[in-house]
């Protein structure tokens, strides 16, 4: 193999490595699941909201479901779960496989005493994006919690993905603590 062949082989190898890295860093494409998590008291016992996201290539309805997984007390941390699922989507071009969401931040703030909590990563959730967090209540009362969620909307291609935009949303819940 001559010098031109070596340069061409090196160039092709670099292109293959770039495509492989691009493919492996792509977020998981979550399927549309309808109202499965939106209407479930197990996943949305603190509330649920539907948001329309418009990308450059389609539209997607996202459902945000918030639940507390443990009983709220002042002596033990309360575990909250946030699930972001797709109700449905409309994607126009044939080279787009779908739209997906990648959670980047979750903060909870209590208006009662100003305490905050940040996101703790959770395991893989096959049909949605999920984040769990611990929150420590200092006093017994009715607490107003603000969940501030940052996420990125991705367009999943046949090979790789493109980020469409980043968004931050806030949702308020009331939690009675004994």
Mean local confidence (pLDDT), 23-48: 85
- Provide the CATH number for the domain formed by 3-177 in this structure: 2.60.40
* Mean pLDDT along residues 91-113: 86
pTM (predicted TM-score): 0.83
Q: Are 169 and 51 in contact (CB under 8 A)?
A: yes
pLDDT, tens digit, 9 for 90 and up, residues 115-137: 888 775 565 666 788 888 888 88
Q: Which pLDDT tens digit goes with each residue over 136-167? A: 888 888 889 999 999 999 998 888 888 899 99
Q: Is 133 left (phi over 0), alpha (psi -120 to 50) or beta?
A: beta
What mean pLDDT is predicted for residues 61-83?
89
Where do the domains of the chain lie?
3-177
């Amino acid at each position: 193999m001559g010098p031109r062949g070596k340069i061409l082989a090196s160039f092709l190898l670099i292109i293959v490595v770039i495509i492989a890295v691009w493919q492996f860093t792509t977020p998981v494409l979550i399927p549309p699941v309808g109202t499965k998590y939106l209407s479930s008291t197990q996943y949305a016992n603190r509330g649920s909201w539907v948001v329309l996201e418009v990308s450059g290539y389609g539209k997607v309805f996202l459902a945000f479901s918030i639940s507390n997984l443990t009983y709220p007390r002042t002596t033990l941390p309360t575990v909250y779960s946030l699930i972001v699922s797709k109700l449905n989507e409309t994607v126009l071009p044939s080279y787009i496989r779908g739209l997906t969401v990648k959670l980047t931040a979750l903060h909870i703030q209590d208006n009662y005493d100003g305490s905050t909590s940040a996101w703790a990563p959770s395991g893989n959730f096959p049909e949605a994006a999920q984040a769990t967090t611990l929150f420590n209540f200092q006093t017994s009362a009715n607490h107003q919690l603000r969940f501030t969620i940052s996420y990125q909307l991705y367009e999943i291609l046949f090979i790789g993905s493109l980020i469409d935009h980043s968004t931050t949303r806030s949702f308020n819940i009331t939690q009675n603590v004994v």
